[in-house]
Chains A and B, each alone.
Chain A
Amino acid sequence: MKRFLFMIMALAALGAATDAKAHGPSRLKVIKTIDVAAPPAKVWGIIADFDKINVWLPAVEKVDATGGNAPNSAKRVIHLKSGGDIEEALTRYSAEGMSYSYEITKVDPKVLPVNNYSSTITVSANPSGGSTVEWRGAFYRGFMNNDPPKELNDESSQAAVEGVYDLGLKTVKQLAEK
């Protein structure tokens, strides 16, 4: 009887697993900014090239990219030092506005626990004569269904993205203020 019950439960779990959603109902948002004591043009120079994120994001081992900074054609594959790849596509680019947007086209939630991720990074002048860099992202958590495991829930997904943004912005600041 016990074995039978276990089998039923295993089947039910299997059923639930095959019913994976494209994403959950609630998109998450992370917005991080940092003030930099350097002119906007200098700061923009550090982040401007879509294929050189390795310069200012220390978690990146190397980048394989095509298409330069052309929106809707530029693509990059980020190879992380910790292992794992993230594939991304540039969707909007304005050198004049010192801003670009991109989307993750492929990632294993074990590498970064997100789905349907899109992001924008912008440099602007601030009143103190320096620059402000803003990095903002919109995404769904790593787990698609109800009752997510802790490592793929809203909080963990948000924390993972916040960690990336903090590291990147801090590095941009260090490089620009050198």
Chain B
Amino acid sequence: MILALRPSNNLPRNKATSAVAAAWALGFALNACAPPQPCLWITNQEAGTVSVIDSSTDSVVDTILVGANPAGIAVGKTGRDVFVSIPGPNEVTFINGNTRKIVKRIPVPGGPLGMALDEIGGRLLVGEWYDNDVAVFDTRSLSLVGRIPVGQAPAGIAVTPDGALALVANRDSSTVSVIGLADLMVRTTVPVGTHPFGITVSPDGKQAWVAAVQDNSISVIDLESMRLIRSIPVGRTPYVIAFSIDGRLAFVTNQHDNTVTSVDVRTLSPVATAAVGEYPEGIMAHPDGKRLYVANWMSDTVSVIDIDGLKEEKTVKSGNGSRAFGRFLGDAQSYCTKD
């Protein structure tokens, strides 16, 4: 909780955002037991927009025009920093999550797609699909720190909770690059199932789970031994993985089955399957521990899934081509309010 109250990065603040932060901290203190109700930031690739959904009502409260084909998303813990990757025009758009205004468009020439925030180090990692590297930006100055060569077609990126490692799924190499964030060097490269796309670290930081799209499986990497320890068969063309808040379950979107499969993290075996929209991609658990959100690319919707019964309980119309590839909500954002 103390961590959640600490500003998560060093971006310049204006008076308005400080006031909101203070009000937010007060609200948080008053509602210490209530789970956060963050905004969801859903990239709509065909529409060229980002839908902002208030998770307290599960309704769209704003639509931000970013242009072209937004795909990847990286939202900071407090929901103030929102980065959107737009591969077509080769840029990453930085949105102030409080004002919902575009602050800057950052050129990233090599086809930016997957992104992850290293909030402890104050850095944004952006995979350059065509250039086979990860571009590293300082989140304060938004300037390029360096580029780290990885495998072919870097897709998903994840950072361990302690901020020590970044993991990059190299789609066309069928490997995961493990980057040490202290020196921005590749420590090792782990072979995984065919065509890995989404990658997510378990909440305890001990494993990385990778969706192997063309192997119809999840590859589980042990982060101590840096080895592939299990391949779990799931649905057709799995894309992105999320964990429940308590870390007991993992969930994967199966794009060609239009389903989500839940997997028991202890036994590493599939538990249940829920029908969602068509071509589900981005998936994340709500901090209340009860709900899952899934972006459906073909259906232009977001599915709200009840974790208990693993059943879609609501569908929210978002925008054409909803992908939300990446962390699309800030776990510690109390309310989805606007400055």
Contact = CB atoms under 8 A, between A and B. Distances in A.
Contacts of A79: none
B87 A25 contact: yes
Interface in B100-137: 110-111, 113, 129-130, 132
B256 A118 contact: yes
Nearest to B257: A92
B298 interface: yes
Nearest to B70: A26
A27 interface: yes
B111 A146 contact: yes
Given A136-B298, A138-B279, A22 B88 contact: no
B152 A146 contact: no
A19 interface: yes
A58 B286 CA distance: 50
B45 A21 contact: no
Contacts of A21: 129-130, 152-153, 172
A26 B256 contact: no
Interface string B151-193: 0110000000000000000011000000000000000000000
B297 interface: yes
Nearest to B68: A26
B222 interface: no
Contacts of A145: 130
B138 interface: no
Interface string A1-39: 000000000000000000101101111010000000000
Contact of B71 (A25, A91, A118): A25
A29 B129 contact: no
Interface string A64-106: 0000000000000000000000000001000000000000000
B46 interface: yes
A154 interface: yes
Interface string B11-47: 0000000000000000000000000000000000110
A100 B256 CA distance: 13
Contacts of B279: 138
Contacts of B256: 91, 118
B171 A22 contact: yes
Given A29-B46, A118-B256, A22 B113 contact: no
Contact of B113 (A19, A25, A118, A154): A25
Given A29-B298, A91-B256, A22 B153 contact: yes
Interface in B56-90: 69, 71, 87-88
Interface string B273-296: 000000100000000000000000
Given A22-B153, A146-B130, A138 B298 contact: yes
B97 interface: no
Contacts of A29: 46, 297-298, 320-321
B195 interface: yes
Nearest to A137: B298
Contacts of B297: 27, 29, 138
B171 A24 contact: no
Nearest to B131: A146
Nearest to A31: B298
Nearest to B129: A25
A116 B145 CA distance: 35
Nearest to B85: A25
Q: Which of A21, A26, A136 gathers most chain B CB within 10 Å?
A: A26
Nearest to A103: B256
Interface string B233-274: 000000000000000000000001000000000000000000
Which 9 pairs from chain A and chain B are nearest by CB?
Answer: A146-B130, A25-B87, A25-B113, A25-B129, A26-B69, A22-B172, A21-B153, A26-B87, A25-B111
7 contacts: A22-B153, A22-B172, A24-B129, A25-B71, A138-B298, A145-B130, A146-B130
Given A22-B171, A24-B129, 6 more contacts: A21-B130, A26-B45, A27-B297, A29-B46, A29-B297, A138-B297
